[in-house]
Amino acid sequence: MTELNFADRTDFDDADRGFIGTRAEPRITAPDGRVVWDLDAYAFLDGDCPDTVHPSLWRQGQLCARHGLYGVTDGIYQVRGFDISNITFVEGDTGVIVIDPLISVECAAAALALYREHRGDKPVTGVIYTHSHGDHFGGVAGVTDGEDIPIIAPEGFLEHAVSENVYAGTAMTRRADFQYGMGLDPGPEGHVGLGLGIATSAGTFSLYPPTVDVTRTGQEETVDGVRIVFQLTPGTEAPAEMNFLFPDHRALCTAENTSHNLHNVLTLRGALVRDARVWSHYINEAVELFDGEYDLIFASHHWPTWGADRCRTFLAEQRDAYAYLHDQTLRLLNKGRTGAEIAEELDFPPGLARSWHLRGYYGSVSHNLKAIYQRYLGWFDGIPAHLWEHPPVAAAERYVACLGGVEATIGHAKRYTDQDDLRFAAQLLQQAVFAAPDDTGAKEALADVYQRLGFGAENGTWRNYFLSGARELREGRAQPNLDLGAGMAAALTVEQLFDTVAIRVDGPRAAGEDFAIDWHLTDLGENVRTALSNGALIQTKNPKGDAELTVTVTKRGLLGLLAGQKPDGVEYAGDTSLLPKLIGLLDKPDPSFAIVTP
């Protein structure tokens, strides 16, 4: 491991700077009494690092566990440690502008209450969503009812917020359960943080659509007397994202484009692969665009950076990191290396590797390099044997047979475990578990290896993934307690609503069906036809002719119909058997599908 300077306390000084106070009651609860956030859950991090946690990750956990209201500069305040993300308050002439209202309504409301306790009962006069990820807008109903105030977001925000959190929401939620360690108890042998923040809250999710779109770099808006200059950064950490300058405060918000750890080019929960080249480009554009106009940087996660020189160094190193990962991946893939080979061969140069804000606590050099390879060359590494492999269970049965059976496979894995080659031991034991999922010896051996891999991981999400795998092997699957798509249905367009239906159609069962339904949305003035054809549900706007069934309904009524309800005020004309037939062809997602077992 690169030699790290644990005596450097700069991050601790910055994380504590401007502290005003925190919440007296540590637990934040939902209306039903559920605890959605506990400020004291990570108090154990005040102690010395145990053998079960990587020292560097323990340090990051200590920093992320700090919580309370902090002054950033005159007129700008942050509540940190009330969720994985920060909520920022910018004071205007008559009230306060809220930036990124966390994941949960309850946590955002608690943060606003803490701000008001110390700064007065100011009304919310505007909201800014920095980007299209749920931890930056889900709590908005906790700070406003959305009426009569501007809600500002980058162009394309709503489309991307929906497509990332809803279309593949079930699969992403299940994998996010592992990435975020949702089933792990906080403690030295369990959850110690995510790197990007300490944890994710588990409260009520909400979304109000933006009322003001930022459509160009250089666009300036004035909200409650506060001037804001925007820089669009699409395709960076999120498909729709933006940085912005408060020129009168000499403060730059870099959203989630920069943070105090290396970020993900591709998250372990799954997402579209991000463009590291574009990411670096937009950080560099910010350096040039706002040069000389700010003395501090604050962001959607972690603590601010103060001082013009320190800010320039911070931005330059973040910029260089993503450029380095991108360019070196391309250099090596053009020499014939596969993604796995590149990840094994390459690391940051010493100047970047020693920077605390580029340590791989959330993203990692390893999985980012593989993601960049995937962006350019896809899933296939060019090796013919990998073109048409058996699926996992069939392959596992064959490997285990070649190794002499399950017990023999466990024995081979033990030899690698004893040699501290935990990576290969895990591969062998995974074959044993998939070949014989009821074999408790194989599952316990694999759980032990996963646990050791988790304890040794510097990366918070790797640790969570390994320890979650060990937990499920020992205890079985639990229902996820995080829903990335919850609370978003009302914000979907009609096209997006029908998209969510289309991806649930059981194609093989529907392949022989051929019928159409016309939908007249009276409140929106929209006409849409959905037609089943060869197992696919096809949408057509403003169709010609008549379908076998016409449904006249409001959008709210449509939401009810798709949820299996019988809302009032729906009118039908034609073959009314077709709607239940369509509903009957929809598959039901499995929110707790198997990951570590077949």
Report whether pLDDT(593) > 80.
yes
Residue range 68-115, pLDDT digits in tens: 999 999 999 999 999 999 999 999 999 999 999 999 999 999 999 999
Q: What is the 3-state secondary structure (H, E, C) of 231-267?
A: EECCCCCCCCEEEEEECCCCEEECCCCCCCCCCCCCC
Write down the mean pLDDT value for the chain: 96
Question: What burial class does residue 584 get, using C-beta atoms within 10 Å of its C-beta: 0-12 exposed, 13-18 middle, 19+ buried?
Answer: exposed
CA dist., res. 149 & res. 76, Å (int): 19
Share of the chain above pLDDT 90, in %: 93
Q: What is the dotted CATH code of the domain comprising 10-238?
A: 3.60.15.30
Report whether pLDDT(373) > 60.
yes
| CB distance 432 to 409 below 8 Å | yes
State residue 155's pLDDT score.
97
| Beta bridge mates, 69 | 21, 79
Domain ranges of the chain: 10-238, 385-475, 492-584
pLDDT band at residue 486 using 50, 70 and 90 as cut-offs: low
pLDDT band at residue 489 using 50, 70 and 90 as cut-offs: confident
Q: Which residue has the higher pLDDT, 406 or 159?
A: 406
At 126, give phi and psi (nearest 5°).
180, 155
Of 400, 405, 406, 396, the closest CA to residue 596 belongs to 396
End-to-end Cα, the chain, rounded Å: 35
DSSP 153: E
| CB distance 61 to 47 below 8 Å | no
Q: Does domain 385-475 have CATH number 2.30.40.10?
A: no
DSSP sequence for 497-540: HHHHHHTTB-HHHHTT---EEEEEETTTTEEEEEEEETTEEEEE
Rounding to the nearest 10 degrees, give the CA dihedral for residues 144, 147, 150, 152: 60
Q: Give Cβ neighbours of residue 554 (< 8 Å, ≥ 6 apart).
A: 521, 522, 523, 569
| Beta bridge mates, 124 | 96
Choosing among 3.20.20.70, 3.40.140.10, 3.30.1050.10, 3.30.43.10, the CATH entry for 492-584 is 3.30.1050.10
Report whether pLDDT(436) > 70.
yes
Q: Which residue has the higher pLDDT, 485 or 46?
A: 46
What number of other Cβ atoms are within 10 A of residue 238's Cβ?
26
In Å, what is the CA distance from 467 to each residue of 47, 48, 268, 461, 472? Answer: 21, 21, 14, 10, 9
Report whether pLDDT(481) > 70.
no
DSSP 586: B
State residue 238's pLDDT score.
95
Triad 454, 460, 465: Cα angle to 5°: 50
Residue range 153-189, pLDDT digits in tens: 999 999 898 877 788 889 999 999 999 999 999 999 9
Task: Tokens 């690391």: give the residue.
Answer: 347
pLDDT band at residue 516 using 50, 70 and 90 as cut-offs: very high
In sign, the C-alpha dihedral spanning 208, 211, 216, 219 is: negative
Report whether pLDDT(378) > 70.
yes
Report whether pLDDT(492) > 90.
no
Task: Tokens 């640790």: give the residue.
Answer: 463
Residue range 526-561, pLDDT digits in tens: 999 999 999 999 999 999 999 999 999 999 999 999
Residue range 44-70, pLDDT digits in tens: 999 999 999 999 999 999 999 999 999
State residue 488's pLDDT score.
73
| Overall average pLDDT of the 332-341 stretch | 98
492-584 has the same fold as 10-238: no
Helix (H, G, I), strand (E, B) or coil at 2: coil
Rg, the chain, Cα only = 25
Q: Which two tokens stand for residue 519?
A: 């939908």
Q: Which two tokens stand for residue 165?
A: 């959190």
Q: Which two tokens stand for residue 64?
A: 């992320």
Kindly provide the b/e burial profile for residues 276-303, where b requires at least 16 CB atoms within 10 angstroms of the residue's own CB: bbebbbbbbbbeebbeeebbbbbbbbbb
Q: Which residue has the higher pLDDT, 562 or 264?
A: 264
